[in-house]
């Protein structure tokens, strides 16, 4: 392998990363690539217009052609793997863009322009308040540009929804209604004032040409908020209200134009290519029956005897003594009453180390869950698994930034469950829960359940409250194939462990297996399987 080939490959991967961060400035800020790597991203937010969607599609087609014509690297060189993973992710994204009309990138695959849990309407303010670093007067000026971009993006979202209505691609009525309700709440709360408070707090210690310069900056931000952003939200709320009667009532993707094909493409992208949906659905039903029998016969950890000591959850008020890099904070920057369905959200460290890893906690939302769920979400082993995952992502991204941009949430969530299960920190009730959600995913989008049937199924199988069950059903409606992907990844990790134990017998080491599984971070399951086979084959060769 020549130095010329290495340099050409690095340049190609760099072009993909720079293109994606330009198309998705918010992911650049979330990852920590927006200061030292993709500085131009700091003045922008994600484009939400149809024109931006089409432009991104054309740019990615060009990237795909360049990658196909680029140099080929043999062997297991790290850049060769990066190239393989990037080409695979880009091909799947381009395939999605043929049938999709939502928010599609190397970082996310959601089929709708807007939904109650994601989109510029909530992610724009969060990017400003949580991810935009202000260390210099120039950073503060960039913040103003992003404020204006938020107002423009909300208007583009409104116009795109109107265009979607004309082509029959509106999100389901239940999602539009829930989005409108949450947006009204965002307006009614003082959440948006955090935008101004953040700017004021982080510029207080900066040195400007004059004090009047800072005051003018804050006054300008306040003006943009009051005269541009708030009216843009009101216009979008009005448009959502007007479009609700026109939207499809079924919440499943099957009710959308081209939705059956799109769901299969999403399963291919998020879970695994070639997955047989009918047999997977039957497998889920069998797993549910078996898990329910186990749950009936076995006590929960909370009810276990004193011989079994349940893991101690992280204190809500203070940093974890076991994992000092993680801080627990009882604060939600955007107080929309339900910042996450669990009340717990892990925020990875920035790649540039300008923000450490954090666990954001909402104690009131967490308290809505049964005790064994609370233990799962706040268990120290979960935080350790998050940190281990974060380290692998960072290592790959520092080598090739595009590896940070390519997000594989199914791998991430599947890894967390798999790792916790080894420590007995995941009770059978939680495994039942993720199986129920995967079955509900297929039920709603493939078996053509109604939203009400999905809510009833989740509540009946998990005994969660009707409010939590409906929230979960809406999230499944908004993010098809995501819950199924979590189950598929977890189940594959378990099956790989079982196979490896059979092959290695007494030479099997769980810690070493975990390392082989996680090393090099999130990647397609086919590549994970190849890595595990290479790992245990090396052990067999050494034994012989």
pLDDT tens-digit readout, 282-306: 999 999 999 999 888 765 544 443 3
Domain boundaries, the chain: 1-111, 113-247, 262-306+369-491
Split at pLDDT 50, 70, 90, the class of 325 is very low
Spell out the alpha helix ranges (H) of 32-115: 50-69, 78-99
Are 476 and 118 spatial neighbours (Cβ–Cβ below 8 Å)?
no
According to the model, what pLDDT value does residue 165 have? 93
Is residue 195 scored above 50 in pLDDT?
yes
Can you read off the two tokens belonging to residue 113?
A: 């322009």
Q: How many CA atoms lie within 13 A of 80 on its CB side?
A: 10
Tokens of 213: 């310069």
Q: What would the pLDDT profile of 197-229 be if each residue is shown by its tens digit? A: 999 999 999 999 888 999 999 999 999 999 999
- pLDDT band per the 50, 70, 90 thresholds, residue 234: very high
Query: Tokens 């989008």 — which residue?
Result: 445
For residue range 142-187, what is the model confidence (pLDDT) as tens digits?
Answer: 999 999 999 999 999 999 999 999 988 899 999 999 999 999 988 8
The number of C-alpha atoms within 13 Å of 258 and in the hemisphere containing its C-beta is 16
The pLDDT of residue 326 is above 90: no
- Model confidence at 543, pLDDT cuts 50, 70, 90, reads confident
Q: What tokens appear for 486 in the block?
A: 């979590």
d(CA 256, CA 248): 8
Predicted confidence band of residue 363 (pLDDT cuts 50, 70, 90): confident
Q: What average pLDDT does range 53-64 have in this prediction?
A: 95
C-alpha distances in Å from residue 23, one per residue of 20, 28, 30, 54: 5, 10, 14, 11
pLDDT of residue 533: 97
- Cα angle 350, 355, 360; round to 5: 100
CA–CA gap between residue 46 and residue 484 (Å, rounded): 27
Q: How far apart are CA 110 and CA 14, in angstroms?
A: 25
Q: Residue 123: CA atoms inside 13 Å, Cβ hemisphere, count?
A: 24
Give the mean pLDDT of 12-18: 96
List the structure tokens of 508: 């099997």
Location of structure tokens 């484009």: 47
C-alpha distance from residue 7 to each of 13, 68, 124, 236, 478 (Å): 10, 16, 36, 47, 41
Give the pLDDT band of residue 538 (cuts 50, 70, 90): very high
Mind spelling out the 3-state secondary structure of 341-404?
CCCEEEECCCCCCCCCCEEEECHHHHCCCCHHHHHHHHEHHHHHHHHHHHHHHHHHHHHCCHHH
Report yes or no: 240 and 180 within 8 Å, Cβ to Cβ: yes
SS3 383: helix
DSSP states of 498-536 as a string?
HHHHHHHGGG--HHHHHHHHHTT-S--HHHHHHHHHHHH
What are the structure tokens assigned to 83, written together? 């190239």
Give the residue, 310 or 242, on which the prediction is more confident.
Answer: 242
Cβ neighbours for 515, distance < 8 A, ≥ 6 positions apart? none
Q: Give the strand pairing for 103-104 and 344-347.
A: unpaired
- Sign of the torsion formed by the C-alpha atoms of 69, 74, 80 and 84: positive
Pick from 355-369, 429-443, 492-506: least confident: 355-369
pLDDT at 353 over 80: yes
pLDDT for residue 42 is more than 80:
yes
Q: How far apart are CA 356 and CA 351, in angstroms?
A: 9
Residue 357 has a pLDDT of 87
Per-residue pLDDT, 1: 65
**Residue 338 pLDDT more than 50?**
no
Residue 344's beta-bridge partner residues? 361
Contact (Cβ atoms closer than 8 angstroms) between residue 195 and residue 221: yes
Q: How far is CA 148 from the centre of its chain?
A: 26
Instruction: Give yes or no for a contact between 377 and 58, defined as CB atoms under 8 angstroms apart.
Output: no
Q: In this model, does residue 307 exceed pLDDT 50? A: no
Measured CA to CA, the distance from residue 393 to residue 492 in angstroms comes to 20
Q: Cβ distance 359 to 314 under 8 Å?
A: yes
């Amino acid at each position: 392998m020549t130095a010329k080939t290495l340099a050409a490959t690095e340049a190609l991967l760099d072009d993909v990363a720079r293109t994606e961060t330009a198309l998705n400035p918010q992911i650049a800020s979330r990852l920590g690539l927006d200061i030292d790597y993709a500085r131009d991203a700091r003045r922008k937010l994600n484009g939400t217009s149809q024109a931006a969607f089409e432009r991104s599609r054309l740019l990615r087609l060009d990237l795909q052609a360049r990658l196909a014509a680029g140099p080929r690297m043999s062997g297991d060189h790290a850049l060769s793997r990066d190239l393989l993973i990037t080409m695979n992710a880009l091909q799947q994204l381009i395939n999605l863009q043929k049938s999709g009309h939502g928010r599609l990138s190397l970082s996310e695959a959601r089929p709708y322009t807007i939904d109650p849990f994601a989109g510029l309407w909530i992610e724009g303010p969060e990017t400003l308040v949580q991810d935009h670093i202000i260390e210099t007067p120039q950073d503060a000026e960039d913040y103003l540009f992003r404020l204006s971009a938020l107002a423009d993006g909300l208007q583009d979202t409104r116009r795109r929804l109107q265009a979607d209505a004309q082509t029959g691609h509106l999100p389901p009525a239940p999602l539009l209604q829930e989005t409108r309700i949450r947006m009204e709440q965002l307006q009614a709360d003082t959440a948006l004032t955090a935008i101004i408070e953040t700017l004021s707090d982080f510029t207080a210690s900066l040195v400007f040409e004059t004090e009047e310069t800072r005051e003018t900056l804050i006054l300008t931000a306040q003006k943009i908020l009051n005269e541009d952003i708030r009216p843009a939200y009101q216009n979008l709320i009005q448009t959502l209200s007007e479009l609700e009667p026109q939207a499809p009532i079924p919440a499943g993707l099957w009710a959308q134009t081209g939705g059956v094909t799109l769901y299969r493409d999403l399963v291919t992208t998020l879970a695994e290519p070639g997955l047989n949906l009918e047999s997977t659905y039957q497998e889920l039903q069998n797993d549910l029956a078996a898990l329910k029998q186990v749950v009936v016969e076995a006590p929960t950890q909370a009810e276990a005897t004193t011989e079994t000591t349940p893991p101690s959850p992280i204190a809500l008020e203070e940093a974890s003594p076991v994992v000092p890099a993680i801080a627990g904070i009882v604060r939600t920057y955007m107080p929309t009453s339900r910042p996450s369905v669990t009340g717990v959200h892990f925020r990875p460290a920035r790649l540039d180390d300008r923000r450490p890893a954090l666990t954001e906690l909402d104690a009131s939302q967490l308290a809505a869950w049964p005790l064994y769920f609370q233990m799962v979400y706040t268990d120290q082993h979960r935080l350790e698994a998050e940190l281990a995952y974060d380290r692998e992502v960072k290592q790959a991204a520092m080598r090739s930034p595009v590896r940070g941009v390519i997000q594989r949430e199914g791998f991430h969530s599947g890894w967390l469950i798999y790792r916790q299960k080894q420590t007995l920190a995941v009770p059978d009730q939680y495994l039942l829960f993720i199986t129920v959600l995967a079955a509900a995913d297929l039920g709603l989008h493939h078996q053509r359940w109604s939203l009400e049937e999905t809510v009833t199924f989740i509540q009946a199988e998990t005994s969660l409250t009707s409010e939590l069950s409906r929230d979960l059903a809406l999230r499944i409606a908004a993010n098809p194939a995501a819950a199924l992907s979590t189950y598929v990844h977890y189940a594959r990790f378990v099956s790989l462990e079982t196979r490896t134990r059979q092959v290695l017998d007494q030479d099997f080491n769980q810690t070493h297996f975990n390392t082989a599984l996680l090393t090099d971070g999130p990647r397609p399951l086919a590549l994970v399987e190849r890595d595990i086979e290479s790992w245990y084959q090396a052990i067999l060769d050494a034994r012989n």
